[in-house]
Structure 1
Amino acid sequence: MRGLAGKSGIIAGGGRGIGAATARRLAEEGALVIIGDIVEEWAQQTADDIVSKGGTAIGMRLDGTSPQSQQEIVRRAVEAFGGLDFFHSNLAGGTEGDVNALDCPLDVFDKSIEINTKSHLIATQAALPVLLERGGGAMIYTSSGAATGGSPWQVAYPMAKNAIHALARHVATKWGKNGIRANVICPGLVLTEAVQQHMTEEQVSMGKRVVPSPRLGKPDDIAAMVALLASDDGEWINGQVYHVNGGGQMRG
């Protein structure tokens, strides 16, 4: 990608899976990255791996639901790299107990909103002023195909992820003239550590059968889209929702 070398950014939720793949891809492109994760050990391990291969990375603990923690990771980026050019808000979770609309407990719903919606607003409030000081930059949010595909087995997670789309379009229209780009990525079924841990072989096989692709997703597939949106090649992309899913959902 053009224009990633020397750029500085944050991958929130970057300790493993999509976030870790994204951190590695961006570092390979010459970006300077701060990796934040609720499990600090994962963030540090990913950062150490990048550094061992000649990249620039710092790992630290990040609680995406905490304004103080989000502010701290932004401060660290400014202290270490002199500013901020992109923020990948790759935060998700809280699906345990999330079932249909009649049976989903309200505390489960509230937790999903906190992790899957509120954390992205908090990230925006922490990062956007620094991006504006820089003269522009990219907010990149991870949503889910569940937000638009219909999920009979859960209700809170798709509702919470849908809200990210509205957030990105708000940021894009409000601050686009100031050089801010805000876009959303909706991954399909990507074989991360979490998916392999929580899905059965039968569920994975079913997912592969319904996708018009010879394989399911890899974290690197999503990392490639993040790299585009963070780079100068993505300079005229704003307010969009991208489905990276092997054709699992085909949307206009």
Structure 2
Amino acid sequence: MTSAPRNISNRPALPVYHAECDAPSFPTKTQAYSESESPDALTPISSTSGQPATPADSETSGSAISEVTAKLHPDLDRKLEALVFAEEIVPPRGQSADDLPTEVPAPTSRDPFGFVCAFGFTGSFDEPPAVPRTKGAFLTAIRGEIEGIGMIQRGLQSYQNAINSRKYHTFSPRFLIDQNTATVITLDQLDQITTHLKKLEEEVQEMENEEEVREELMEAFRQAQPWVMRTRAILRHCHVFYKINFVLATGTQNTQH
């Protein structure tokens, strides 16, 4: 063992680190999680010191931190960073405060909800059916729309349960966080649309001596239809994606994605 450095100016001697007794290396993630990576994709950081450290004259020059200790700082910093990242489900994404949005776009006349698609869906969806003008047909259509929303919500919950079940596949934490968050937001948006449609239904039911629905009520129905059709298309896309790529492709095999 190498002797400790000389004690100058009544300071306690600084410890001398040897390669064989250095702090244990912590694992570090090779890169940020993606949908195809395992959360266990770790690589150890090896010690950067191949030889035992020996004190030098510069250690006792009167500075608070010796040269040998200063050289250890980068390695210790990396190990600390690795330890912190090992506790994170998703590594932090660099974004300055100036880049964060501070304004919400105002809803257009065709979209009073001001929703943003949580799934980021950019595909096409079916054209909504025409809104009937007569009172009876309008009520039938709006009740059918409310019932259809309930079916979409149950379908999204089924998709959510499927990807979380690990029955056919084990998805990465980032993918699960993204999909579960998008599902919860979309379910809430559909709840808001249902509330909107139920208010319309009540208003039309209260109409007396009128066989035709007013144009503003018809327009309020039209405003909700595109979002319902969009979420129906999202549901189809999610279920087809899961079934073709994992249920049919892997059978009962459980793989990591």
Q: Which has the higher contact order (CA 8 A, sep 6+)?
A: 2
TM-score class, shorter: under 0.3
Return the index of the structure with the highest Cα Rg.
2
Q: TM-score, normalised by structure 1?
A: 0.23
Q: TM-score, normalised by structure 2?
A: 0.22
